[in-house]
Amino acid sequence: MAETLLEAKKLNNFIDGNWVATNETSDVINPANGETIVHVPLSDGGAVDTAVEAAKKAQKEWAKVPAPQRAEVLLEVGNMMKERKERLAQLLTMENGKVLEEARGEVQEGIDMAFYMAGEGRRLFGHTTPAELPNKFSMSQRCPVGVVGIITPWNFPIAIATWKSFPAIVAGNAVIWKPATETPIMAHELAKIFEEAGLPKGVLNVVYGKGSAVGDKMVHHDDIRVISFTGSNDTGRNIASECGKQLKKVSLEMGGKNAVIVMDDADLDLAAEGIIWSAYGTSGQRCTAASRVIVHEDVKERLEERLLAEIEKLTIGDGLNETNKVGPIINKAGLEKIQKYIQIGKEEGAKLVAGGYVLEDGDFAKGHYFAPTLFTDATPDMRIAQEEIFGPVLSLIPVKSFEEAIEVNNGVSYGLSSSIFTTDANRVFQAQRDLDTGIVYVNAGTTGAEIHLPFGGTKGTGNGHRDSGVQALDVFTEWKAVYIDYSGKLQRAQIDTE
Ligand code: NAP
């Protein structure tokens, strides 16, 4: 199927509007069946240098194009993504494994972001304010930063790139984008769309290659003034410290240990449905996936029964088969990490009540599949309740009260998403105030962010920036304060006059 969707067997870098081949490549494997889909360039730092030179030149001109005209390119990109939605979704399922329904949802997020950020072309609001002195005008405005670098993970190969590149481009920057080596096809498709939509050469450049080569070169390149990174905590911390040494702006979106709280007054059927979708959708490989359920002890047994019944119904397999609800794990290393945590959970004394094993029979053997897993009677301090597993593994933690539930939710090093199921209005308002995460859901699971709201988290999830929403513009713009004195004389601010 890949042959019919992709024109080439080998992808190329996209630099200064040209498709540039490299000598070295690596194979891109479909995690559902082990087949090689395409070959991706393994570039070296030299490709980053070439891309940055092109981007610097292009950005100077791009910044002078009026923002509403820049936005028209994004509108065209959004329309083209809409036309190609099914093709993009199928390719996304092949390279990443997520089931087709979710792949369509991810492409839709990109489309939404294109239209939302196109609107920013007519806003990009600054402020006009009164000046302290007579006959003086003052205002603030957003300015592009210049050349920006974006580094993206494999688990959302197109949505995350749109959260970063669309605000960067509408604000007048040029972009160097390094996609994850596992999932390069969406980058190829999006670059092609930008090319056909008429984006000037050099404004968007895609450089494929390993993080340790291309990513590292971007982080250390003097002319890349912003790094916007989404990925693991270890990589992000390292990037932040390297950027810190260079006084380079860095935006980090990293891991999560997200919880669903289920109170004694909750609608348990609804809660079970929300938990199943958040925990096992994308095989748990979402930064916002639920991996803890903090449940009031009075309803624990009833909730557990419902979850076990729902887990039984989950169909697992290749995401291109629309009857499947849970797809594969991205690669062998991902599978091994999950297995390691199953062992840890057992040794810590949590009770394994569903799954806990690799699926290896028949067609499963060709891909990387893990059975949806449920631990119960976990305690908040266990490693399975503290560390990001990034797989279909959920732990039930019983608590005695609402206050304890909030404390357990907040007692982890991450702060991305949280949710509470309750029918008590007072608890709803207390919870949205006290849950220490960047995203809070009430009577819904921990996934399902909308692009016009800020996306990101507190504590170890990030460093205070946000992807998507109008807040994304803060990453890719500098503020300039402008004072215009039309008094015809020298007026000195803050200096006492007689
Ligand atoms: P990762 O290993 O950190 O990789 C992310 C990106 O960084 C990849 O493109 C990778 O390149 C690159 N990279 C690796 N080493 C680098 C280095 N030394 N310098 C510069 N770039 C480098 O993360 P992942 O395993 O792909 O992604 C999963 C993680 O992302 C999870 O922790 C998940 O929670 C997090 N995530 C967070 C959000 C959020 O918004 N909070 C959203 C989605 C995912 P290569 O892989 O090509 O070498």
- Look at residue 216 and tell me if it is in a domain: yes
Provide the CB-side half-sphere exposure for 239 (13 A, CA): 33
Same domain? For 317 and 233 the reply is no
Q: How far is the CA of 211 from the centre of ligand 1 (A)?
A: 8
User: Ligand 1: residues within 6 Å at CB?
Assistant: 151-156, 160, 178, 180-181, 210-212, 215-216, 219, 230-232, 235, 238-239, 253-256, 287, 388, 390, 416, 461, 467
Catalytic residue among 253, 304, 310, 388: 253
Single-letter code of the amino acid located at 400: K
Same domain? For 285 and 181 the reply is no
Divide the 498 residues of the chain into consecutive groups of 10 and give the mean pLDDT of each group. 75 98 96 97 98 98 98 98 98 98 98 98 97 97 98 98 98 98 98 98 98 98 98 97 98 98 98 98 98 98 98 98 98 98 98 98 96 98 98 98 98 98 98 98 97 98 96 98 98 89
Joined tokens for residue 419: 């949710």
d(CA 190, CA 173): 17
DSSP per-residue codes, 151-219: E--SSSTTHHHHHHHHHHHHTT-EEEEE--TT--HHHHHHHHHHHHHTPPTTSEEE--S-IIIIIHHHH
Same domain? For 280 and 401 the reply is yes
- Look at residue 121 and tell me if it is in a domain: yes
Q: How far is the CA of 167 from the centre of ligand 1 (A)?
A: 20
Q: In terms of residue numbers, what domain contains 363?
A: 258-442
At residue 5, the pLDDT reads 79
- Look at residue 492 and tell me if it is in a domain: no
- Look at residue 493 and tell me if it is in a domain: no
The DSSP 8-state label assigned to residue 455 in this structure reads: B
- Look at residue 453 and tell me if it is in a domain: no
Same domain? For 38 and 160 the reply is yes
Same domain? For 30 and 10 the reply is yes
At residue 1, the pLDDT reads 65
- Look at residue 412 and tell me if it is in a domain: yes
The Cα-based distances of 113 to 270, 403, 451, 459 in angstroms read 29, 37, 6, 26
Q: What is the CATH number of the domain that holds 208?
A: 3.40.605.10
Torsion angle, CA of 179/182/188/194, rounded to 10 degrees?
Answer: -40
d(CA 89, CA 107): 6
Handedness of CA 49, 236, 183, 40 (dihedral sign): positive
Same domain? For 78 and 192 the reply is yes
Nearest ligand 1 atom to alpha carbon 455: 40
Catalytic residue among 102, 120, 287, 388: 287
Same domain? For 144 and 291 the reply is no
287 is catalytic: yes
Same domain? For 142 and 29 the reply is yes
- Look at residue 286 and tell me if it is in a domain: yes
**Residue 392 contacts residue 279 (beta carbons within 8 Å):** yes
Same domain? For 64 and 185 the reply is yes
Q: Which of 40, 206, 230 to mutate to test the pocket of ligand 1 (most atoms within 8 A of CB)?
A: 230
At residue 414, the pLDDT reads 98
Same domain? For 115 and 182 the reply is yes
Handedness of CA 112, 115, 117, 120 (dihedral sign): negative
Q: Which of 95, 178, 234, 235 to mutate to test the pocket of ligand 1 (most atoms within 8 A of CB)?
A: 235
Same domain? For 286 and 238 the reply is no
Per-residue b/e over 131-152, b at no fewer than 16 CB within 10 Å?
beeeeeebeeebebbbbbbbbb
User: How many structural domains are present in the chain?
Assistant: 2
At residue 497, the pLDDT reads 80
- Look at residue 498 and tell me if it is in a domain: no
Q: What is the CATH number of the domain that holds 350?
A: 3.40.309.10
Helix axes 67-83, 159-170, angle to 10 degrees: 160
Joined tokens for residue 89: 């979704």
Same domain? For 206 and 281 the reply is no
Q: Which of 287, 418, 459 to mutate to test the pocket of ligand 1 (most atoms within 8 A of CB)?
A: 287
At residue 327, the pLDDT reads 98
143 is catalytic: no
